[in-house]
Amino acid sequence: MPTRLPPPEPAAAPRRRRKEARPQELLQAALELFVEKGFAAARSEEVAARAGVSKGTLYRYFPSKAELFKAVVRQNLSALIAEGQQLADRFDGPSDELLRRLLRAWWLRVGSTAAGGIFKIIVAEVRNFPELAQFYADEVQVPADRLIAGTLQRAIRRGEFRAVPVAEATLALIAPMLFLALHRHSVGACPAAAKGMDALAVLETHLALVLDGLRAAPARAGAVRTRAPGPRTPARIA
């Protein structure tokens, strides 16, 4: 009597994997199109076509273009800020090292990638979409400010940094990162403007300068304050 072969594997497995992958494919396609065209100009059917699905499939996961944009922001920005907060909550090393880790992670995972283009969209279009403006403030701006401000307050409490206006120092740390992302996705896209610019080196230099100003120096008896040298010609960035 011939040996009976085992039944074949169900053919639905590849389709199941495809279905589970669709939200990520849609979010990636949406990120690319939003950065290329802007929020207003990018159309839902273009996102669906780039992801290889129908418009109806897109709306099954994301009921509107606004909800799709919010999901893109949550995946690329909100999630990283939440990870940074978790790191800060359990970190027991020096605060300057914590700041370095947070800023480097932001550049490597956001600033140097397509996700950095989200900030260009916010600058250019968010005033025309009040709901998205409030969403960005709640999901990105407030948590990011809280993370950096909390790290500065931690350092001041531990005596690592001198007492400084925390809100202003937070802005001084965040602003160059946003500038670098904006530069990369605007004039930095031109070969002549991007030539010779190492964004990570700029970020590292800025952080070194800020940390030198923040660190609490031990008081020295009889120290004589010398006059600072005169201004030097600033280096061109672009």
Mean pLDDT of the chain: 84
Asked if residue 160 belongs to a domain, the reply is: yes
CATH number for the domain harbouring residue 202 = 1.10.357
Pick left, alpha or beta for residue 154 (phi over 0 → left; psi -120 to 50 → alpha; otherwise beta).
Answer: alpha
pLDDT digits (tens, 9 = 90+) for 67-125: 999 999 999 999 999 999 999 999 999 999 999 999 999 999 999 999 999 999 999 99
What's the number of domains the chain is made of? 1
Range of the domain at 155: 70-214
Asked if residue 7 belongs to a domain, the reply is: no
133 with 127: CB under 8 angstroms?
yes
The torsion angles phi and psi of 38, rounded to 5 degrees, stand at: 95, 165
Q: Which residues have CB under 8 Å from 75's CB, separation 6+?
A: 27
Asked if residue 158 belongs to a domain, the reply is: yes
Asked if residue 176 belongs to a domain, the reply is: yes
pLDDT digits (tens, 9 = 90+) for 161-204: 999 999 999 999 999 999 999 888 887 666 665 566 788 888 88
